[in-house]
A and B are shown apart, each in its own frame.
Chain A
Amino acid sequence: MFLVPNKIAIRTMTENTQKISRADVEKVAKLARLQPSEAEVEEFTRQLGAILEYVEKMNELDTEGVEPLAHCLPVSNVFRDDEVKESLGTEKTLANAPQRDGEFFRVPRILDDSNA
């Protein structure tokens, strides 16, 4: 039976789900190079928990022996001859750099002295 969307939402948002912990959210944020505040971690934990609970609806389906489908194209690899073609060039490539130094993107020091 098809569920009316609003009804599903009400159910999931009122249950206190534990699909994902604060520690998980903090770990994921670090992996994704984000720095959410304490309050945001709290909010994401609640929201991602509700979404993941909904997503687990997929477990109702038996997918034994079903191939994963990454895309729907009737093609696999696309090849071309290995020839040098025109590319953007240094100036255009660097034009949007937040900081540059001549022909380089400029970034803070990556290896500090203690690691030297």
Chain B
Amino acid sequence: MSDELLNFSCIELRDKIASGQVSSVEATKAVFSAIDEIEPVIGAYISTFKEQALKKAKEVDANIASGKNVGLLAGVPVAIKDVLCTTFGATTCASKILENFHAPYNATVVQKLLDADAVIVGKTNLDEFAMGSSTENSGLKQTVNPWDSERVPGGSSGGSAAAVAARMCFSALGSDTGGSIRQPASFCGVVGLKPTYGRVSRYGLVAYGSSLDQIGPLTKTVGDTALMLNIIAGHDSKDSTSVNEDIAPLADYMAELDRPVEGLRIGIVGRLNIGADGSVQKAIAEVIEVYKNLGAELVEIEMPHFDYAIASYYMVATAEASSNLARYDGVHYGHRTAEPKDYIEVYSKSRQEAFGKEVQRRIMLGTYALSSGYYDAYYLKALKVRNLIRGDFVKAYQKCDCIMMPVSPTTAFKVGEKIADPLTMYLSDIYTIAANLAGVPSISVPCGFDENRLPVGLQILTPAFSEDKLLRIARMYENQTKWYEERPELINK
């Protein structure tokens, strides 16, 4: 029973808990058995909260038994990326500098999950401060891919993706600055959504690149993503970058999910797709066939500035990071060096001791891009290029309803394969970064496997604040293919 139970979607589990077929305690215990069994291999979690989770599960079961109203996710075990503040446990960002940091408040999305009666089982591993594409930059532990333990889970939300794929939770929250939800979702064969910039409150999300960061769910199915978005989306007075709903109205993302988009026009950038590995190209070509059979029309689009997205991104994101991470000063919270020789060393030695290499690299790159004499050539230029890239999207969406392309040029690569060469690692973000620069929503949906049985991800992008349509388009494909029924070998027994 517990094995079958772990394969349920959030929606299935929630409905079974609500109708008394399964209890939340039973589901939560099954999740912790899976964690006991698989977590030593996968390493998805930085912290788990068994006692607290079981207590919440009991409460939900009791409330349901006594006929009380319960939330949208009542009794469903979920995980959160450890870059979101919680009043329970530590909030580490997988950094030694915050290893013992206990946040004084819950992030808005965490509070919304709690209010929806979700059972939070733990906080997941990531690249330190969400900087990376493989989770190898975690300062605390290594996470591996459930489909092949010699490979990375992707990043930076690698722990969240691995936990969902390995059935160690039913859904997990991640954050996406340049692909950090979508790429690990693709590598681990789960669904991952980066909502429109401004759709979800970031209050309590530890900042990396503030004009790019966005929180979103990782789930087994598109339906679950719609459910999670219903819970976390919306304006929040505590986040001035969360958009007012009179400017961009919220939808009920589940209401019309199964209604196909009629006369769907899919934008394809042919020259971009040929940059991907053969197996990825093949999978995407098969996706297109599925949509064509559903009556979709293909439109060739240009996106002439797309090739400059990585260059622009690594200036904008690192400039913002250098400013955001100045707050780790060894004074207010976080690691402080043991014996500073003066007050300057409280800053510099504390930071040197506790920041990992990639974080230091990005802080230095951003500091350089913002420094006198280089600001115009690097930072300002990057912002202008960013505007050109956004213009590409505006033009493209005049001709099509959505754009489809791979999530990543490759499937999951081997642990250690790219870590010594930061630029090569950065270049693997080619397909995901433009969505963050332009602020548009984008989803990664499982679309098959390569010759090593590693998952491939399809990326779909739509205009800002059209997540309802994006999810419907993704659902059309999911209903035809049902890749979510596949499970990694590691747990296939």
By the criterion CB–CB under 8 Å, are B368 and A69 in contact? Answer: no
The yes or no answer to A23 lying at the interface (CB within 8 A) is no
Known: A24-B368, A55-B314, A98-B333. A66 touches B422 (CB 8 A): no
Which of A30, A31, A63, A105 has a CB less than 8 Å from the CB of B388? A63
The yes or no answer to B248 lying at the interface (CB within 8 A) is yes
By the criterion CB–CB under 8 Å, are A33 and B384 in contact? Answer: no
The yes or no answer to B279 lying at the interface (CB within 8 A) is no
- Measured between C-beta atoms, what is the minimum distance from A49 to chain B in Å? 10
B residues in contact with A75, CB < 8 Å? 198, 243-244, 247
The yes or no answer to B311 lying at the interface (CB within 8 A) is yes
Q: Name the prevailing secondary structure of the A interface residues.
A: loop
A-side residues, CB < 8 A to B, are: 1-6, 8-9, 12-13, 20, 24-25, 28-36, 40, 44, 47-48, 50-52, 54-61, 63, 66-75, 78, 80, 88, 92-93, 95-99, 105, 107-110, 112
Inter-chain CA distance A54–B211, complex, in Å, is 22
By the criterion CB–CB under 8 Å, are B360 and A36 in contact? Answer: yes
Known: A35-B348, A80-B237, A96-B334. A20 touches B104 (CB 8 A): no
Which of B142-150, B160-168, B269-277, B450-458 touches A? B269-277
By the criterion CB–CB under 8 Å, are B388 and A66 in contact? Answer: yes
Q: For B337, give the chain A residue with the smallest CB separation.
A: A98
Segment 352-411 of B: residues with Cβ below 8 Å from A = 352, 355, 357, 360-361, 363-365, 367-368, 371, 378, 380-388, 390, 409
Give 19 new A-B contacts, CB below 8 A, not counting A31-B371, A55-B382, A57-B307.
Answer: A8-B427, A13-B423, A31-B367, A33-B329, A33-B344, A33-B347, A34-B363, A35-B345, A36-B352, A48-B361, A48-B368, A51-B314, A51-B422, A63-B381, A63-B385, A73-B439, A80-B237, A98-B335, A110-B343
By the criterion CB–CB under 8 Å, are B388 and A61 in contact? Answer: yes
Inter-chain CA distance A22–B378, complex, in Å, is 19
B residues in contact with A13, CB < 8 Å? 421, 423-424
Known: A47-B361, A51-B426, A72-B438. A96 touches B368 (CB 8 A): no
Q: Name which of B104, B310, B364, B422 has the most chain A CB atoms within 10 A of its CB.
A: B364
Q: Give 16 pairs: A residue, B residue, CB < 8 Å, sorted on A.
A: A2-B271, A4-B409, A5-B428, A30-B348, A31-B367, A35-B348, A51-B423, A57-B311, A61-B388, A63-B381, A66-B384, A74-B243, A74-B247, A75-B243, A96-B332, A105-B332
**A-B interface, 3 closest residue pairs, ranked by CB to CB distance from nearest:** A72-B439, A68-B383, A96-B333
- Measured between C-beta atoms, what is the minimum distance from B274 to chain A in Å? 7
B residues in contact with A35, CB < 8 Å? 345, 348-349, 351-352
- Measured between C-beta atoms, what is the minimum distance from A21 to chain B in Å? 11
The yes or no answer to B241 lying at the interface (CB within 8 A) is yes
By the criterion CB–CB under 8 Å, are A98 and B334 in contact? Answer: yes
By the criterion CB–CB under 8 Å, are B104 and A93 in contact? Answer: yes
Inter-chain CA distance A40–B408, complex, in Å, is 30
By the criterion CB–CB under 8 Å, are B104 and A71 in contact? Answer: no
A residues in contact with B311, CB < 8 Å? 54-58
The yes or no answer to B95 lying at the interface (CB within 8 A) is no
By the criterion CB–CB under 8 Å, are A69 and B105 in contact? Answer: no
By the criterion CB–CB under 8 Å, are A44 and B424 in contact? Answer: no
By the criterion CB–CB under 8 Å, are A48 and B331 in contact? Answer: no
- Measured between C-beta atoms, what is the minimum distance from B366 to chain A in Å? 8
By the criterion CB–CB under 8 Å, are B368 and A33 in contact? Answer: no
Q: For B425, give the chain A residue with the smallest CB separation.
A: A9
The yes or no answer to B284 lying at the interface (CB within 8 A) is no
Q: For A59, give the chain B residue with the smallest CB separation.
A: B381
By the criterion CB–CB under 8 Å, are B247 and A9 in contact? Answer: no
By the criterion CB–CB under 8 Å, are B315 and A55 in contact? Answer: yes
- Measured between C-beta atoms, what is the minimum distance from B276 to chain A in Å? 9
- Measured between C-beta atoms, what is the minimum distance from A23 to chain B in Å? 12
Inter-chain CA distance A78–B237, complex, in Å, is 9
The yes or no answer to B240 lying at the interface (CB within 8 A) is yes
Known: A5-B428, A34-B355, A107-B331. A44 touches B343 (CB 8 A): no
Q: For B387, give the chain A residue with the smallest CB separation.
A: A69
Which of A30, A32, A48, A108 has a CB less than 8 Å from the CB of B343? A108
A residues in contact with B348, CB < 8 Å? 30, 33-35
